[in-house]
Amino acid sequence: MTLSDLPLHAPARVEDVQDMHPNDAIARRLRELGFVSGEEVRLVARGPVGGEPLLIQVGFTRFALRRSEAARVRIQREGVAP
């Protein structure tokens, strides 16, 4: 499952960030911002137009991400079997 598919307020943990191509600057930046394996994440809100941007909480920090950016983050929902 990817972060862009996560239901509102459902707890999850980051598995990894997928690189779409070699030297993927967006994937690298997501990792730098804290989207690393084992980190807890939560979808806090969706924007009004087409559901963008997505407001994502990582730890105590919130980020606004495009759906295409959130789709790079693979997650495992908490309390849901793989």
Residue 12 pLDDT:
96
Residue 75 contacts residue 4 (beta carbons within 8 Å) = no
pLDDT of residue 79: 73
Q: What is the pLDDT of residues 37-82, one digit of tens each?
A: 999 999 999 999 888 999 999 989 999 999 999 999 999 998 765 5
DSSP 3-state assignment of 75? Answer: strand
- Residue 29 counted as domain residue: yes
| Structural domain includes residue 26 | yes
Place of tokens 């930046």: 29
Q: Which CATH number goes with the domain that contains 12?
A: 2.30.30.90
pLDDT tens digits, 3-48? 999 999 999 999 999 999 999 999 999 999 999 999 999 999 999 9
Q: How far is CA 2 from CA 33, 36, in A?
A: 17, 14
Domain that holds residue 35: 3-77
